[in-house]
Amino acid sequence: MQELDKRGINEIEVGKVAYELQHEYYPEVTVEQFGSELKNVLKKREVLNILAVGFELDNLAAENKLTPVLHTIIANDLGMFGVDEALAFNITQLYGTISSSNFGLGDKVKLGLAKKLDNEDGKVNTFADDLFLALCSAVVARFGHGSALALQ
């Protein structure tokens, strides 16, 4: 949780992005209600393990404790690296296609806090921005999976 706090990742920030992605489909759900689902996403061991690996790699790059090639790639968030998205995508796969598709959209346009993390000067957030969006997408999926099916 300390690593989430350090980057400003919290229920409100997650709720804002989930709301932006899904308000059209769930107009009655508030930012706070979306955000409150984050605690349930963070109960999954797989999610916590993925977050730990990604945040640790960002931290090691920030401290210049990686091999020179890997440090250059992660510290500069080089475009064709893709491992950051691949790691975060594993969170979305735990929640199905609704999560995966929302992650792709969120990553393409860098919604909410993801944009700040992606552009924050002097900080290494190569994994953090994608992990944040994966958490938002998992929250979206929890709402999608929990809603009644309209079959008319």
Tell me: the pLDDT tens digits for 83-125?
999 999 999 999 999 999 999 999 999 999 999 999 999 999 9
Q: Is residue 91 part of a domain?
A: yes
Q: Is residue 117 part of a domain?
A: yes
Residues 8-42 as b or e (16 or more Cβ within 10 Å = b) = ebebebbbbbbbbbbeeebeebebebbbebbeebe
CATH code of the domain covering residue 89: 1.10.3760.10
Q: Is residue 151 part of a domain?
A: no
Q: Is the pLDDT of residue 152 over 80?
A: no
- Residues of the chain with pLDDT > 90, as a percent, come to 90
Between the CA of residue 104 and those of 1, 2, 36, 139, what are the distances in Å?
25, 26, 22, 14
d(CA 117, CA 142): 24
Domain that holds residue 88: 2-146
The domain total for the chain is: 1
Sign of CA dihedral 15, 20, 24, 30: positive
Please name which of 114, 143, 126, 111 lies closest in space to residue 40, comparing C-alpha atoms.
Answer: 143
Residues 82-97 as b or e (16 or more Cβ within 10 Å = b) = eebbebbbebbeebee
Question: What pTM was estimated for this model as a whole?
Answer: 0.94
Q: Is residue 44 part of a domain?
A: yes
